[in-house]
Amino acid sequence: MNLEVITRTPIGQPRPTPLLFVHGAYSAAWIWDRHFLPFFADRGYEAHALSLRGHGTSEGHELLRSWRLRDFVADVEQVAAALPRSPVLIGHSMGGMVVQKVLHRRSVPAAVLLAPVPPHGLFGSQLSIALTNPELLCELAWADILGPRSVPGGAVRRALFSDDGRSGDGEVRSYLERFQPESTLVVFDLLGLDLPPSLPRLDLPVLVLGAEHDGFLPAFSGALEATARTYRTRPEVLPGIAHMMMLDHGWEAVARRILNWLDTTLGDGPGWRQVAQEASTSRRGASRAKLEKPELTD
């Protein structure tokens, strides 16, 4: 499968572990390239974001409605396998569920889940939305039928972005115009048709982050806690941010929390550049010593 991958590389020696970002439903790799990819590249990481099949400029648009969650898992595995080292997987919303399924299939150094679909699926969250925000559920239903661009989107906008005046209407509108249809079968998979194994992962560091004003996976719904329990950790809810955590006005607080966690978890924090330089100097010295060693003659 020919997949779109957007890559931002640091200037100079990169950190040892690359990052691979996985988008959520109705979007593509572009959501990471506005802020997150440059942010992490500026701090030494090779940062990659893929568009799942049928999204962005990846192949498969003609079959979008028929793709399954397992197909998206295969896309992440394909891109991860092509990287020089196993990456940290960072998934948002539906992409968080894709990442969770990958974690049960291959070894990765760590994972970050942003407003993820919980391991038990979306049924409970959809029920909560139906009771507390029926307008949003109606708009989502019409978006699945007509496409996101055909829906007025007032409730969707409030669920995706903080409505406090700091997110410019023009900027938010430009984001909403780039959203696209989603696979119908994947929606059914997320509701419960194809969920990851219920066995918890105890051997993998995972950061679970939620958003205070998330209208799709509300912090009070218990979805974040359920995800965190699976990985024996505790969720963190970042204040003042809505579902699109990488595009909302508070994106930098999200990025910095991930960066600090990666520094601690991977052990290649602020001192990584000096270590890399010392290793490079040591390798050059060893090569020079080998060249200068006199050959033995009979």
pLDDT, one tens digit per residue, over 53-76 is 999 999 999 999 999 999 999 999
pLDDT at 38 over 90: yes
Q: What is the pLDDT of residues 169-227, one digit of tens each?
A: 678 888 888 988 899 899 999 998 998 887 777 789 999 999 999 988 877 678 899 99
Q: What CATH code is assigned to 5-292?
A: 3.40.50.1820
pLDDT at 45 over 60: yes
DSSP 186-209: HHHIIIIISPPPSSPP-SS-EEEE
pLDDT of 140? 66
The H-assigned helical ranges of the chain are 30-33, 36-42, 69-82, 94-103, 123-132, 134-146, 154-160, 169-176, 184-188, 223-230, 251-266, 272-292
Lowest mean pLDDT among 150-154, 191-195, 254-258: 150-154
- Closest to 241 (Cα-Cα) out of 272, 263, 209, 273: 209
pLDDT at 288 over 50: no
**Banded model confidence at residue 247, pLDDT cuts 50, 70, 90:** very high
List Cβ neighbours of 38 (8 Å cut-off, separation of 6 or more): 8
pLDDT of 253? 97
- Assess contact for 180 and 28: CB atoms under 8 A: yes
Give me the mean pLDDT over the 119-144 stretch: 69
Compute the residue count for the chain: 298
- Assess contact for 10 and 42: CB atoms under 8 A: yes
Q: Tell me the three state secondary structure of residue 159.
A: helix
